[in-house]
């Protein structure tokens, strides 16, 4: 028997399940399981990445100064109030390390992004879940569960995997109702995709309060998932805390170079928004026309609910699609066993999804 003393609760953590990337069957693979962009990566970012190949013997800039300056310029933010992370996952986790621990509670919604629970459990805090009656964050349900022990409240806006969002006045109401000692983490990973008027990424709230942070990612619309790059905009005191606990060189040099170059190519992002704005409604319409329930999404994926009937349920659909080389995201681990999530793909991929679903429903 090992004498090692594993921290209590670690073995209670259900490991994160990433989107599957291999299918059965010989067909061409259509991976729609991880909300990656179908448009690849900006040519400028790819060139910057390649140029790094001759400098691999050097450590990266530990402060990611040029990258933070580029993010600041691009978003009109003070670079000194930005910290970068090895994916926004790392930031979400570091925030838990800095602000929560045993005896504390970490609050999030029923169908929230899975990393929040893992981050809470990893630091020995107690996850507290607020129900989402309509597959949408419910501010009253969150506030009813906030109290003296609530160290952090994570809110994905829009949320993955539901695709729903909270309008700014609701997020404001949430912040106003939380105790002053609770850090509100607004995870805006899909912000770039949202084209509605009743949405913002949370910067205003960060600016107005000392207990709000916003996290962002280069993994989605910028097409840099492989390099792991996220960033956070936060009050100076939070920046200072995270800088004390983060790895000294947590952002590799390739990610820094590619991230800067990606920010210099707004046309690439605009193209991705246009593609999504065309194909998300198309997918939703076509899938609904097959008699399946679509839960409206403002991000780059569609949440589809299947009938309870065993021949037509989500598990059967998943197997059917997989056998045809299409990989959606199964959502049992999110408590949505009768739903599948489909990332918006290229035109031929979206058409293949609808065709396969039509075959499944026939
Ligand atoms: C809501 C949300 N937040 C954060 C992330 C993490 O992104 P990354 O760590 O790649 O920046 C994801 C990825 O799927 C997500 O869906």
Atom of ligand 1 minimally distant from the CA of 219: 10
- Quick: pLDDT tens for 255-280: 999 999 999 999 999 999 999 999 99
Count of CB atoms within 10 A of residue 169's CB? 10
* Distance from C-alpha of 5 to C-alpha of 293, rounded to nearest angstrom: 48
pLDDT at position 125 is: 98
Which among 86, 89, 158, 299 is the best mutation to test ligand 1's pocket, defined by most ligand atoms within 8 Å of the CB? 89
Count of CB atoms within 10 A of residue 26's CB? 7
Closest to 301 in 3D by CA, of 279, 323, 286: 279
* Distance from C-alpha of 298 to C-alpha of 161, rounded to nearest angstrom: 11
Lookup result for tokens 């045809």: 324
| Dist. CA 245 → ligand 1 center (Å) | 21
Q: Whose CA is nearest to atom 12 of ligand 1?
A: 189
Tokens of 273: 């928004």
| Dist. CA 91 → ligand 1 center (Å) | 10
Atom of ligand 1 minimally distant from the CA of 158: 1
Spell out the residues 6+ positions from residue 142 whose beta carbon is closer than 8 angstroms to its own: 107, 109, 130, 153, 155, 174
Atom of ligand 1 minimally distant from the CA of 89: 9
- The percent of residues in the chain predicted with pLDDT above 90, rounded, is 94
Q: Are 334 and 15 in contact (CB under 8 A)?
A: no
| Dist. CA 189 → ligand 1 center (Å) | 6
| Dist. CA 118 → ligand 1 center (Å) | 13
Q: In angstroms, what is the C-alpha Rg of the chain?
A: 21
* Distance from C-alpha of 342 to C-alpha of 356, rounded to nearest angstrom: 13
Q: How far is CA 347 from the centre of its chain?
A: 23
Which among 96, 213, 219 is the best mutation to test ligand 1's pocket, defined by most ligand atoms within 8 Å of the CB? 219
| Dist. CA 34 → ligand 1 center (Å) | 9
- Quick: pLDDT tens for 60-88: 999 999 999 999 999 999 999 999 999 99
pLDDT at position 131 is: 98
Largest CA distance in the chain: 59
Ligand 1 pocket list (CB less than 6 A) = 35, 87-89, 113, 156, 160, 187, 189, 217, 219, 225, 230
What is the band of 2 on the pLDDT scale with cuts at 50, 70, 90? confident
pLDDT at position 19 is: 78
Atom of ligand 1 minimally distant from the CA of 90: 9
Q: How far is CA 221 from the centre of its chain?
A: 11
pLDDT at position 262 is: 98
| Dist. CA 327 → ligand 1 center (Å) | 19
Q: Looking at the predicted structure, is the pLDDT value of residue 25 above 70?
A: no
Please state the rounded mean pLDDT for residues 104-126.
97
Could you write out the three-class secondary structure of the chain? CCCCCCCCCHHHCCCCCCCCCCCCCCCCCEECCCCCCCCCCCHHHHHHHHHHHHHCCCCCCCCCHHHHHHHHHHHCCCHHHEEEECCHHHHHHHHHHHHCCCCCEEEEECCCCCHHHHHHHHCCCEEEEECCCCCCCCHHHHHHCCCCCEEEEEEECCCCCCCCCCCHHHHHHHHHHCCCCCEEEEECCCHHHCCCCCCCCCHHHHHHCCCEEEEEECCCCCCCHHHCCEEEECCHHHHHHHHHHCCCCCCCHHHHHHHHHHHCCHHHHHHHHHHHHHHHHHHHHHHHHCCCEEECCCCCEEEEECCCCCCCCHHHHHHHHHHCCEECEECHHHCCCCEEEEECCCHHHHHHHHHHHHHHHC
Q: Looking at the predicted structure, is the pLDDT value of residue 44 above 80?
A: yes
- Quick: pLDDT tens for 173-215: 999 999 999 999 999 999 999 999 999 999 999 999 999 999 9
What is the band of 20 on the pLDDT scale with cuts at 50, 70, 90? confident
Atom of ligand 1 minimally distant from the CA of 225: 10
pLDDT at position 113 is: 96
pLDDT at position 334 is: 95
Closest to 340 in 3D by CA, of 356, 277, 117: 356
Tokens of 111: 């169908």
Lookup result for tokens 């107005």: 208
Q: Which of 25-29, 109-113, 237-241, 350-354 has the lowest mean pLDDT?
A: 25-29
pTM, entire model = 0.96
Q: Looking at the predicted structure, is the pLDDT value of residue 319 above 80?
A: yes
What is the band of 27 on the pLDDT scale with cuts at 50, 70, 90? low
| Dist. CA 172 → ligand 1 center (Å) | 22
Please state the rounded mean pLDDT for residues 146-169.
98
* Distance from C-alpha of 238 to C-alpha of 253, rounded to nearest angstrom: 24
pLDDT at position 1 is: 75
């Amino acid at each position: 028997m090992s004498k090692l003393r594993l921290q209590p609760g670690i073995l209670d953590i259900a490991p994160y399940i990433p989107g599957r990337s291999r299918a059965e069957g010989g067909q061409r693979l259509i991976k729609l399981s991880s909300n990656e962009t179908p448009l690849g990566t900006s040519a400028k970012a790819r060139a910057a990445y390649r140029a790094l190949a001759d400098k691999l013997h050097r450590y990266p800039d530990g402060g990611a100064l040029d990258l933070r300056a580029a993010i600041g310029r691009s978003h009109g933010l003070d670079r000194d109030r930005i910290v970068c992370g090895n994916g926004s996952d790392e930031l979400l986790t570091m925030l838990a390390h800095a602000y929560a621990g045993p005896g504390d509670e970490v609050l999030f919604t029923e169908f929230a992004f899975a990393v929040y629970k893992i981050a809470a459990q990893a630091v020995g805090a107690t996850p507290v879940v607020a129900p989402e009656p309509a597959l949408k964050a419910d501010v009253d349900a969150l506030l009813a569960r906030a109290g003296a022990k609530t160290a952090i409240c994570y809110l994905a806006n829009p949320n993955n995997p539901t695709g729903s969002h909270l309008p700014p006045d609701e997020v404001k109401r949430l912040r106003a109702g939380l105790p002053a000692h609770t850090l509100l983490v607004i995870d805006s990973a899909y912000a770039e995709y949202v084209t509605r008027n009743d949405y913002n990424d949370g910067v205003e709230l960060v600016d107005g309060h000392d207990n709000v942070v916003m996290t962002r990612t280069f993994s989605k619309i910028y097409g840099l998932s492989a390099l792991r790059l996220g960033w956070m905009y936060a009050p100076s005191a939070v920046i200072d805390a995270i800088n004390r606990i983060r790895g000294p060189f947590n952002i590799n040099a390739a990610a820094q170079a590619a991230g800067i170059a990606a920010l210099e190519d707004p046309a690439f992002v605009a193209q991705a928004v246009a593609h999504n704005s065309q194909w998300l409604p198309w997918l939703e319409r076509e899938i609904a026309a097959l008699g399946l329930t679509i839960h409206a999404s403002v991000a780059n994926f569609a949440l589809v609910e299947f009938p309870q009937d065993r021949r037509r349920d989500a598990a059967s659909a998943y197997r059917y699609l997989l056998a045809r080389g299409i990989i959606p995201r199964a959502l049992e681990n999110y408590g949505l066993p009768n739903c599948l999530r489909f990332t918006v793909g290229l035109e031929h991929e979206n058409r293949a999804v609808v065709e396969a679903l039509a075959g499944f429903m026939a």
